Structure 1
């Protein structure tokens, strides 16, 4: 079979690329190895699908610390606001939640996935499900996709949209990297991002804080000089292996990159009360003690500090929790406050890439034309989505990158295919 444009991968970028190619006049085929389209979209945002983010373009790019600046050119053609309009025009009404995150009003990812699938059928795109690709042979005029069944598909333009290696149960198993290398592309080192971190600290090993959930804390990754290189103020949780939760996920890529440089441990610093100064915190504790001098220090402070954390901090400061509050010296309270404002611990690793939300690394963006997503090395070859060396924080940023790069790849693959055909 021969097509103008063949898209491999039915995730967010592949769906968008297929639709864009067909809308720009291509006879298109979408090849998906799994039995469902849009699997990653269906599970994103806890099954509600965080379609994009409404923050200004600059802010969106700032939230894509992995080569986000590459997206300035694609955004000039199709950006996060265009994504919102696109779905609204398809009848998927969106609503804004905290930090600019956009969700379907239906609160169901299915409405997003179904709208895209309906669009595919409207555009008469040939869809092949349960169809793994074995190899791609690059030709002088057109390329040949060899399916595992042995069938061959010819196409003037090929778009590789197979994702990275994170969340492999959705089908992202890294198939595309070898096809890219065969075309002459560089694949930068892959690593987990948006991932939980592991620690060998005794208090972690002994599960002292396991299950402790902290709201609105400031978590920092410290450099070799013990100065913060990044700080995120969000929620976090202590686990049986280390730390997780939104603040940790956002800090994780900075930790992973430091560990990749050969550091055995990366220090982190936690400020449990980022909105209060040391003096304010000290004063509120002294007031609580003054008002309840006969109660135990533990009973007085458990209303200020989460109990598990309080027990840990009291032990760190050699304070007996049953001691009467009035008997605890002011310098001990100051030390407690300092521990709460600058709780330092080391992390030693992360969960593996397959447990990460997002893949770091991928096809080098230096080899991609930013405003077309075309390979600089091979004619008729395009890349989009997470296979590229672009990664953002969770919050709609990675899906935005996937939908934008997919749209641009599809449009330009169609234009190249039509210029060959004419």
Structure 2
């Protein structure tokens, strides 16, 4: 039996502590906050998108950074295994098939997930230390021996699992402080915001603030490679946000940190140019914006007319040239993305400890013996849809059974 120290009481840390304790290890879980799962509590708007109900094989295409690294983790503890775990602990959940097969608690309360994990930790005699901030690692002869706490206390152990998260949502305690400690021993890949709103150069974008658009396609090209995402989006005074935008952001965040990028938005990807033209002309005695009412929000259509310096008129009075301009704008609005809203507003961190220095089959450091990593502290991230939480649970479980 080993003495295992887990640093960080988020989803990956709690799962690591549980897996280790169920393997008959003595486990101490150190949490810097006064409660467990503080970031988990606010995910999914408080609903907590636990995982996704797609086949585990489909998860890899949703991973943005270092997907191959996750093979052992995902297959050792799958989404099915996770849901079975919650079932066995009487947590009821629901699968929203209409919403990309996302899985939520039946009550839509993230607290239920936290309570389930916490009760299981207590049941398995995990010692939880609250309001304890780890400020350094105790390393001798390239082997971990324990951790140092802010008040000068030393906690010694045989194995240490780092589950401290990234830099997103810093108010929850996930402020990236552990990176400053770890970079003395490991390669730290540059940190970028992921799943974050995008800023846009065009000043007129603020005129569209608050307009929500459903099922759009946003695409761009980086070094001749086309990146395309579909889903809902929302115009904001600074640019763009919403599920489709957040997904796209993770794929372009490194590029736009130093470059501007042209975004193309197709607001009606299910309609051809010809079909939109027919709708515009649908009722010749009605105004064009009225004809488009069933397809697009009226305030959006009005702004398109303003941008094109057009006056709304009856369809039979609209010139063919102006009709083509309208259709072109609906099918391919061009915007200049010049950045993101930053790490504090991002849902996930891109970057972190290099996967080249971690054994993917155990999550143990290749540099420091008996030191393990889980979750967002590692340079791995995925799109929205429950995939990042599954990464947390899977890597946490694998580390926990490997100590």
Could you say which residue in structure 2 is the equivalent of 1:6? 5
- Secondary structure at 1:190 match in 2: strand
Shift of the alpha carbon at 1:142? 5.1
Distance 1:108-1:130 versus aligned 2 partners, 3 A rule: same
The root-mean-square deviation of aligned C-alpha atoms, in Å, is 1.7
Shift of the alpha carbon at 1:304? 3.8
CA distance in 2, matches of 1:51, 1:297: 45
CA distance in 2, matches of 1:117, 1:328: 65
CA distance in 2, matches of 1:63, 1:282: 35
CA distance in 2, matches of 1:382, 1:304: 52
Which of 369, 373, 394 aligns to 2:359? It is 369
Taking the TM superposition and a 5 Å limit, the aligned residue runs for 1:120-269 are: 120-140=121-141, 143-182=145-184, 184-204=185-205, 207-223=206-222, 229-260=226-257, 262-263=258-259, 265-269=260-264
CA distance in 1, matches of 2:292, 2:101: 36
Could you say which residue in structure 1 is the equivalent of 2:298? 307
**Structure 1 runs (4+) greater than 4 angstroms displaced:** none
TM-score, normalised relative to structure 1: 0.91
Could you say which residue in structure 2 is the equivalent of 1:71? 70
CA distance in 2, matches of 1:296, 1:400: 50
Q: Does 1:359 align with 2:361?
A: no
* Contact 2:364–2:399 (Cα < 8 Å) also in 1: yes
Shift of the alpha carbon at 1:67? 1.3
Could you say which residue in structure 2 is the equivalent of 1:44? 43
CA distance in 1, matches of 2:317, 2:290: 14
Could you say which residue in structure 1 is the equivalent of 2:265? 270
Could you say which residue in structure 1 is the equivalent of 2:310? 319
Could you say which residue in structure 2 is the equivalent of 1:280? 275
Unaligned runs of 5+ in 1: 414-422
Distance 1:315-1:129 versus aligned 2 partners, 3 A rule: same
* Contact 1:87–1:93 (Cα < 8 Å) also in 2: yes
Whichever structure has more strand as a proportion of its residues is 2
Aligned residues: 400
* Contact 1:221–1:255 (Cα < 8 Å) also in 2: no
Shift of the alpha carbon at 1:146? 1.1
* Contact 1:221–1:251 (Cα < 8 Å) also in 2: no
Q: Does 1:349 align with 2:339?
A: yes
Distance 1:142-1:315 versus aligned 2 partners, 3 A rule: closer
Distance 1:142-1:180 versus aligned 2 partners, 3 A rule: closer
Shift of the alpha carbon at 1:330? 2.0
- Secondary structure at 1:189 match in 2: strand
CA distance in 1, matches of 2:373, 2:193: 20
- Secondary structure at 1:369 match in 2: coil
* Contact 2:162–2:374 (Cα < 8 Å) also in 1: yes
Q: Of the two, which has the highest radius of gyration?
A: 1
1:209-267 superposed Cα distances (whole Å, 9 cap, x missing partner): 11111011111123355xx722111100110111100010001123322224x32x111
1:76-124 superposed Cα distances (whole Å, 9 cap, x missing partner): 3211111111111111122111212111222211111111001111111
CA distance in 2, matches of 1:23, 1:161: 18
TM-score, normalised relative to structure 2: 0.95
CA distance in 2, matches of 1:251, 1:367: 28
Distance 1:305-1:142 versus aligned 2 partners, 3 A rule: closer
Unaligned runs of 5+ in 2: none
CA distance in 1, matches of 2:395, 2:349: 16
